[in-house]
Amino acid sequence: MLKVKGYELEEPVFRDSFDRRAIKVQNNIFATLKQLNIDRDDAKVSMEKMARKKAKASVSFWFEGRNLKYTYHQMPRFIDNLYVVDKILEIYVNQLFEKEITLDQFQREFSDDDKIDEKLAESRKTLGVNEDETDFELISKNYKALAKKHHPDMGGDHEMFQKINTAHKMIKKELE
């Protein structure tokens, strides 16, 4: 099982025909968006020429006058990341129709933050790890060492301590 945004998803199992299967997943994403009366013209699903290479997948769409977006890049291949985007979108659209979440909650989950990638890169830099590091144990190890060093009770810099905590929380939220 794969845990994303607090939900358990079946592990993607793509063994061949990655490009063709990526098109099928893309079509499924468009079908899910169609339930919200969002046409292909009002949505964009990232696609890679080689679906088996490592690359992030994303969907962005206009809904109720807002640009909404979801990106995922923790899996080893683009097709797997696209699968996760598809499943997360399905979950939230179903929750919206079942009235388990409000329209406002749905929009907040997919609110587009154009600078999120920059903020995450800066957070990783603050914690002293590579920009593309996804090993949360390593990130946490660096976080603990820096937090101990900069803790105000240990004579450290309070602002730096807060910056370290914020960086760790942001990365943790991304990798959950």
Task: Tell me the pLDDT tens digit for each residue of 95-109.
Answer: 999 999 999 899 988
For helices 136-150 and 158-175, give the axis angle rounded to 10 degrees.
Answer: 170
Q: Band of the pLDDT at 111, cuts 50, 70, 90?
A: confident
Q: Band of the pLDDT at 114, cuts 50, 70, 90?
A: low
**Whole-number mean pLDDT of the chain?**
90
Q: Is residue 115's pLDDT more than 80? A: no
Q: Is residue 138's pLDDT more than 70? A: yes
Q: From the CB of residue 18, how many other CB atoms can be counted at a distance below 10 Å? A: 19
Q: Which domains does the chain have, with CATH numbers?
A: 2-109 (no CATH), 116-175 (1.10.287)
Contact 14, 79 (CB under 8 A): yes
What is the model's pTM?
0.68
Contact 175, 3 (CB under 8 A): no
Structure tokens at 53: 């290479």
Which phi and psi angles does 5 have, rounded to 5°? 55, 35
Rounded to whole angstroms, how far apart are CA atoms 132 and 120?
A: 9
- pLDDT tens string 3-31: 888 889 998 888 889 999 999 999 999 99
DSSP state letter for 39: -
B/e letters for 58-80, b = 16+ CB within 10 Å, e = fewer, are bbbbebeeeebbbbbbebebbbb
| Cα-only R_g, the chain | 18
CA 75 to chain centre: 11
Q: Summarize the confidence of residues 39-56 as an average pLDDT.
A: 92
